[in-house]
A and B are shown apart, each in its own frame.
Chain A
Amino acid sequence: MPVRFAASFAKPSPWARLRAVLPALLAALLPCSAVAAAASLPEVGAYVDLAAMAPPAMAAEVDRLADAGVASVRLPLDWNRVQPGPGPFLWQRDDAAVDAARARGLDVVLVLGPCAEWAVDPAWQVPADKRANSLPKSPDLWEGYVRAAVSHFRGRVTYWQVREQPNAENFRGARSEYTKLLRAAARAARAVDPAAVVVAAEAGSLDVGAAQLMARSPEWDDVGVVGLYVRPGWPNTSASALRWAVLAGEVLPSAPGAPRPAWVLGGGADMSADLWLQQYLLACAFGAARFYLPASVVSRDWLAPLAGLQYSGFLHLGPDLWALWFRDGSRSLVAAWSEREVVVAPGDIAPVSDPDALLRTAVLGGAPASAVTTREGAIALRIGPRPVLIAGLDPAASASARQPTRADVLAVRPGPDVSKAPSVYADYRIAGDPEVGLYNRPLRTLPGGAVTEEEASGRRCLRTHMRPTRGAQDADDPWVYFDVDDRWLYAPATPARVAVTVECDGAFLGAEKLGFNIMYDSSTGYRFTKWQWVDPPAGQFRRFRVELDDAVFSGRDGYDFRINAKGSKQDLWVAAVTVEKLPPAPPPR
């Protein structure tokens, strides 16, 4: 019954009239597995460097976090702090931090890293202020640090995270170098403490493709917990809900061995409180076991309204309203938010059983504001990006709440549905909306991607901007980014075969002065196709077709592929780009 999920409050559907009988109807029609069983919410934790604080401040912060209701803390075990040189370990400050947290009943997760600066190979010429982001020159040094740490904290700490989000900023190494550290840490830790559990930190943000790759790798045996990060900048809630649905509904359940819990380890530094709350609610819905917030975001007001609740299922999936059912004994509550400010009648969400309780509907997250307002003389709810907790709705309606799949999330995407289209394309001859399932316009603020739409040889094109002047070359815009509509292809777990056809104008500077390749999201990260020269004559548009056998289009960094014209001596004029699906490759003989 996906119709229920696709319902939009901006456009009331005939289903509203059936709402009174819908729960019973759905309960009868839905398979049992489609209805989410009540599940405990993720434990909320905080990440903070307690050991860097003076003792009184540390004690005060631990008290504040414990009083606010956090269950655990994630603390960096800074290698530079505990071993400032290649000599003995100094544990006093971290001992104090771990013991203070444990004394208040908080579980402690220690993060192994950042790297000891003295352990970095001087031959790598890493700038002094970036050495902590590097990696040790020898596995022995790393294993020695891990063994010493796990041995010292044995009995007090079970979970050991390997480095903080190993992206280009935090980890100056290849993906394979991270997995080597992970494997070495797991083996060294378990040799000292068989109960030790290793937490693998993802480099991206809810990167489904990377999680799938990890789940299929030999290092999966060493992973005890899958560590995830959320971030701002996703275009809408649906984009993160889609990642959650595929990760929690497809990738992790199909991974070999015992199920690994997923923890949200953190998020972007510039995430708003609204986004933190939305992401926490999504993590509730998709079964994250823990959710770590920056300590500065944690407050009693944030956590208290959600304490003791159990998640029952989604009632509405965007785009105008996201609503999740929660239960607390006999009490039912609905957490809801909207990506834009809307005013809705409570009855549009579910039948009201307790009007007095409905009046207590409040904005979550430390803002003691009521979400109750009036519309046309009747009680209504004002809902925006900051989630609200709605009381007084009929508990029987929770029978229609269910766990969404990838298809459910995609069904509520705004814009024309291209899921059944034979291809997606961007053809700039088309006036109005030239991008049909293949989008460049929203991506022109990405680095090097400020292309412009201009006329060339009588056709409207996308124009790159190469700057041949010495000293200005690094400020050019050689990249035409594209995002394929997720409804047409979202392939983070199983690489897809696609063909990309680029129609562009020829060179006027001579042969081998203009060319491009395609940098695309693959199962091994972003990689390139072979270089294609676009030779003279100019004024004649030609088509170049390239086949990709391992496209993993999941918008990992906000896009699926980019046309790369860097290396050209003149601008590239792109009139149209088409992406089509290819049948699976025949098996090798």
Chain B
Amino acid sequence: MAKLALCMLLLVCVGGLIAVTPRSAAAQEYKMVAGLQPWSAETNFMSLPGYLRWMTWRDTGVWLSMPEADRIVREQAEQARK
């Protein structure tokens, strides 16, 4: 029984590790989040920089820092105004 429990635990751990590893990450440009409503469903209830960080990680495996994401969002907003 103990062996079975250990196997189950291992399976759960390995499964979890696989599940949180982004699949087929490919280098891409950042998605344009300017114009989305922060703290709403369309940003998964995150700030715009937070949403950009999360989505970049899911798409490419790259984690931006919060200040970097904040800077990029401001750049995108400026670009959107042009």
Contacts and interface: CB of A to CB of B under 8 A. Distances in A.
Interface of A: 123-127, 134, 165, 167-170, 172-177, 203-204, 233, 445-448, 450, 472, 474-475, 512, 515, 517, 519, 522, 524-528, 530-531, 533, 556-558, 566-568
A475 B29 contact: no
Closest 8 pairs between A and B when the two form their complex, measured CB to CB: A174-B75, A567-B41, A475-B19, A531-B42, A167-B27, A125-B65, A169-B27, A527-B32
A530 B57 CA distance: 22
A207 to B, nearest CB: 9
Contacts of B78: 176
Contact of B80 (A124, A515, A524, A530): A524
30 contacts: A123-B67, A124-B65, A124-B67, A124-B68, A124-B71, A125-B65, A165-B27, A167-B28, A169-B27, A169-B60, A174-B30, A174-B75, A174-B76, A176-B75, A176-B76, A177-B75, A204-B29, A447-B59, A448-B23, A450-B23, A475-B20, A512-B41, A519-B31, A525-B31, A527-B34, A528-B33, A528-B36, A528-B42, A557-B26, A567-B44
Nearest to B55: A566
B77 to A, nearest CB: 10
Contact of B40 (A126, A447, A450, A531): A531
Given A174-B79, A475-B20, A526 B65 contact: no
Given A474-B20, A557-B59, 10 more contacts: A127-B65, A174-B72, A175-B29, A175-B30, A175-B79, A177-B75, A526-B29, A526-B32, A533-B41, A557-B28
Contact of A447 (B19, B45, B58): B58
Given A126-B68, A168-B62, A567-B44, A447 B24 contact: yes
A529 to B, nearest CB: 9
Nearest to B40: A531
A185 B72 CA distance: 21
A170 B26 CA distance: 12
Interface residues of B, number: 44
A271 to B, nearest CB: 13
Contacts of A445: 23-24
Instruction: Decide if the interface of chain A is mainly helix, strand, loop or mixed.
Output: loop
B27 A170 contact: yes
Interface string B49-73: 0000010111110101111100110
A186 B80 CA distance: 25
Nearest to B23: A447
A446 B45 contact: no
Contacts of B29: 167-168, 175, 203-204, 525-526
Contacts of A474: 20, 54, 57-58
Contact of B79 (A124, A167, A524, A558): A524
Contacts of B35: 527-528
B47 interface: no
A233 B26 contact: yes
Nearest to A512: B41
Contacts of B67: 123-125
B48 to A, nearest CB: 11
Nearest to B18: A475
Given A445-B23, A524-B80, A558-B26, A566 B44 contact: yes
Contact of B31 (A446, A526, A568): A526
A120 B36 CA distance: 29
A537 to B, nearest CB: 20
Nearest to A525: B32
Contact of B68 (A172, A203, A446, A522): A172
Contacts of A167: 27-29, 60
A213 to B, nearest CB: 11
B58 A448 contact: yes
A566 B33 CA distance: 14
